[in-house]
A = this chain, B = another copy of it.
Amino acid sequence: MITKELTAASTKPLVLAVLSKGESYGYAIIQHVREQSGGNLEWSEGMLYPVLHRMEEEKLILASWKVGDNGRKRKYYRLSASGTRAIDRERQQWLAVHDTLTSLWGPKPCST
């Protein structure tokens, strides 16, 4: 289980990263992240949908309704130019914190 703080910090960069692979929709993003994380990251819909709405408002992503293979309506999101640039900013921030943490954790042998 991942703490809510860590979830809050990683949701936006993860959504941006997922969409950089191609457009997708809320329900599929949740599954994509679950699989990509080996089951470690279990997002709830109540968490993600508001996040997507906010990111759309910030114009980081663009939405468009489409009908999927199964005939259901889906709200597909894709990166805007601004969102593409945001990926790099998010990564730099993340790595700044990550490097600080790893430097304090010290050299670590291959963990189990």
Which residues of A line the B interface, CB within 8 A? 2-3, 5-6, 8-10, 12-14, 17-18, 20-21, 33, 36-38, 40-41, 87, 91-101, 103-105, 111
Contact = CB atoms under 8 A, between A and B. Distances in A.
18 contacts: A2-B93, A5-B5, A6-B93, A6-B94, A9-B97, A13-B101, A14-B101, A17-B101, A17-B104, A18-B104, A20-B104, A37-B99, A37-B100, A41-B96, A41-B97, A92-B111, A94-B98, A95-B111
A9 B5 contact: yes
A105 B58 CA distance: 22
A18 B103 CA distance: 10
A97 B95 CA distance: 12
Contacts of A6: 9, 93-94, 97
Nearest to A21: B104
A49 to B, nearest CB: 17
Contacts of A5: 5, 8-9, 12
